[in-house]
Amino acid sequence: MKIFNVLMGLLCLMTAPVSGLAQEKIPSKGLAAVSNKGKFEVYEFERHAIGDNDILIETMYASICHSDLHHVHEDWGSEEYPMVPGHEIAGRVTQVGKNVIKFKVGDYAGVGCMINSCGDCNYCKANLEQYCKNVVMTYHAHDQYHGDEITQGGYSNNIVVKDQFAVKIPENAKMDQIAPLLCAGITTYSPLMQSEVKQGDKVAVAGYGGLGHMAVQYALKLGAEVTVFDITEDKRQDALDMGATKYVNVNNEDELKGMDDSFDFILSTIPAMYEPAMYLKMTKYKGDFAIVGLPALDNQPTLTVANFVFLGGRNVYGSQIGGMKETQEMIDFSVENNIYPMVEIIEATPNLVEEAYQNVLDGNVKFRYVIDMKTLK
């Protein structure tokens, strides 16, 4: 009986909430880019201790977003190395802080592009934490709330995050496919909600990649008629099979004829140089043209003042992921409606990640690489 009581006591200690005051830093291991050349190595580091409002997640899957490539290659400015990328993370909760009531040990949880914010500004109070001036990004950031430590992302075996910045993943979710929703999903879902896309609307999705193929699924579920724009023929049948009414190869001028003033809503997910004015012309009067794709800083497309003046009456806006409340709504909506990305699972090795990066650059992936972090050695 005494042995039984001792074992039960140990079990309670292993699964009980913990106080950050008594905790040590969390040892972690990940795949880190060691320079802007895109070379990866296995990298050991530490995460901050689990605070009273934090949870520790054992990473199961982390997916590769085109944004990861931009950061690793310093397309958006200077970076610090070693860098563990990854802001599309799905895993299981293994510890919780003493104040945490949203999660319990064993729950599935997801982490997206941010892990903390001030909580007091107008953006945070409006559930738009992504625009907070003091937001802490999941990786390549300095965390002012934890001694200015450099954050490291999801290509790793674990992550410590404030409970408010993790989403609950339903038990019936497809865990090997859900990670990309934490960026690609919310980034496309949010502007569709903002523009109130509805049954019968004519929607165009520019760029049929990791983000674009999620946008198509959401727009179709909302009852829209969807046209897809891309630069290659090898995605045409995929788009039509998914339910798109039409596929337009923008390199074929004949396919672009007669498209002006055609769409109630256009979403650009394009991460490279393109001509935004072409899509603005295709937007109907009082229609919306939303931009979520962000090319490299030295290869930015432009809209001129003349474009806005002579194509007046159209609404143009940019959108950056979504707040935590909307991200949870997106996860629930996606799982309930069986909306998932098309993925290719790879093992967690430097060579395979480097190969995946090159394939993303070359457009040779349909449509998201997902790293099985359980294979990390």
pLDDT at 267 over 50: yes
pLDDT at residue 375, rounded to an integer: 98
For 243-259, the pLDDT digits (tens) are 999 999 999 999 999 99
For 148-188, the pLDDT digits (tens) are 999 999 999 999 999 999 999 999 999 999 999 999 999 99
Which domains does the chain possess? 14-183+323-328+343-375 (3.90.180.10), 184-318 (3.40.50.720)
Sheet containing 283-291: give its strands across. 246-249, 225-230, 202-206, 263-268, 283-291, 315-318
Of 16-25, 147-156, 359-368, least confident by mean pLDDT is 16-25
For 311-347, the pLDDT digits (tens) are 999 999 999 999 999 999 999 999 999 999 999 999 9
C-alpha–C-alpha distance, residues 67 and 83, integer Å: 13
Q: 285 in helix, strand or coil?
A: strand
pTM: 0.91
Looking at residue 212, its amino acid is G
For 200-248, the pLDDT digits (tens) are 999 999 999 999 999 999 999 999 999 999 999 999 999 999 999 999 9
Q: How does residue 366 score in pLDDT terms, banded at 50, 70 and 90?
A: confident
For 116-145, the pLDDT digits (tens) are 999 999 999 999 999 999 999 999 999 999
- List residues bridging with 288 in a β-sheet: 265, 315
**Nearest CA to 91 among 2, 153, 7, 143?**
153
- What is the average pLDDT score of the chain? 93
pLDDT at 58 over 70: yes
- Report strand pairing: 40-47 vs 225-230: unpaired
